[in-house]
Structure 1
Amino acid sequence: MRPFPRRELTDEKRIFNYRPSRARRQVECAFGILSSMWRILLGTIEVHDTFACHIVKAVCVLHNMILNKEEERIPFISNDELAVEARTRNNDLPACNRRPGNEAMIIRDKFMSYFVSPLGSLTWQNN
C-alpha cells in the first residue's frame, strides 16, 4: 500500500505509514533468509501462478523442517544486510508512476482508521 506523502502528515497518517512499513521489513527479512537458502526464490519463478504458490508453500514447509532439525544450518544474517539486499532487488522493478484509484485510497483510509481505533491500535504507537 502506498504511504501518505510526508508533507502535512497528521498523527493518524504517520501511524498508518509506520505500520505497513514495519510489516514490510519483517517480510523482507524473512524472504531474504528463505531466498538465501532456496535459490529458486532469487529470480522470477516462471511458472503458472498456482504452481508458483505451491512452490513457495513447499519451500516454507521444507525450511521449517530444516529449522526444527538443524538450528545451526542457517547462518546469521543481520537485518542491515537483508535490507540492502531487498533494496537492490527492488531497484530492478519497473517504475509505476500511476495515481492510485479511488478504491485503493478508500481502503488505505479504512486501514488508517483501524490502526488508530481502540481495536487496532498498539500501546506504544503514539510515542
Structure 2
Amino acid sequence: MDTFPMGHSTFGKMFEGNKLNLPNPEPLHEEDTIDVPYYFVADDAFAITENLLKPHGVGPDPFDREKRIFNYRLSRARRVVENLFGILASRFGVFQRPMMLSPEKATIVTIASCYLHNFLRKKSDRYVSLGSVDWEDANYNINDGEGHATQRDLAGLCPTFRRNVTERAKFVRETLQRYFCNQRSVPWQLKYV
C-alpha cells in the first residue's frame, strides 16, 4: 500500500520499508525524556507517518490554538525547502524539467548544484535577490518570493488514498505540537494563528 505519491519510486519504497538509515530517535531537547524520530516535512498530498509529518487537516478548530501553531511552524519549515528548490530551478535549468539521468548521475548533479549554489552565495551578494525567495520583514511578516509554489503549481500531485493514521504518528505530531507551543515557542507564532 502506498503511503504517498512517490510510493513507486526507489526513495518511496526505501522510505516505506524503513531502509533510509534515518538516525535513531532522540529527545527534542536535552531536558526531555521522550525520544522523537527524525522526520520529513510534507503537505496534504502525503499521508502522515511517524517519519513524515504534515499539517492538521484543512480548517482545524479555530479555537484549537495549538493545532494552528503546529501548522504554522511546519509551514515555515517547508518554506525553507521550497525556497531552496525555487533558487536552484531559477539558476540551474536542469531542475526546470524531469532529469533524464540515472539516479546516480541525478544525485551527482544535485549535489554539485548545491555546492555551486553555496559557493555563489558566499562570493556574491547579488546571487539571490530578495524578491526571488520568501522573506521576513522586521515585524515577522512573511512575504512570498517570485519562486514560491502556489496551490495551482502543486495541482499535478497525485492525491493519496486516506488511511488510518497510526497511534505512533499521532503521538509524534502531538509531541511536536506541545514542544512548539511550550518549550520552543517563538513570539511571532501567535501573530499567524
Work out whether the TM-score is over 0.5: yes
- Alignment size in residue pairs: 124
**What residue number does 1:71 align with?**
125
Higher relative contact order (CA 8 A, sep 6+): 1
**What residue number does 1:23 align with?**
77
The amino acid across from 1:39 in the alignment is G
Instruction: Tell me the TM-score normalised to structure 1 length.
Output: 0.75
Post-superposition CA distance 1:39-69 (Å, at most 9, x none): 2222344533x65444333211111212333
Distance 2:84 2:150 in 1: 11
Residue 8 (str. 1) matches residue 72 (str. 2): no
Instruction: Identify unmatched segments of 5+ residues in structure 1.
Output: none
Structure that is richer in helix per residue? 1
Instruction: Tell me the TM-score normalised to structure 2 length.
Output: 0.53
CA contact (8 A) 1:33 1:77 kept: yes
**What residue number does 1:93 align with?**
157
Distance 1:87 1:53, change over 3 A: farther
Secondary structure at the aligned position of 1:71 is classed as coil
Distance 1:117 1:33 in 2: 33
Instruction: Identify unmatched segments of 5+ residues in structure 2.
Output: 1-52, 134-143
Q: CA deviation at 1:3?
A: 1.4
Q: Percent identity?
A: 31
**What residue number does 1:47 align with?**
102
RMSD: 2.6
Distance 2:73 2:186 in 1: 10
Distance 1:59 1:97, change over 3 A: same
Post-superposition CA distance 1:71-96 (Å, at most 9, x none): 3345552634222x454542222111
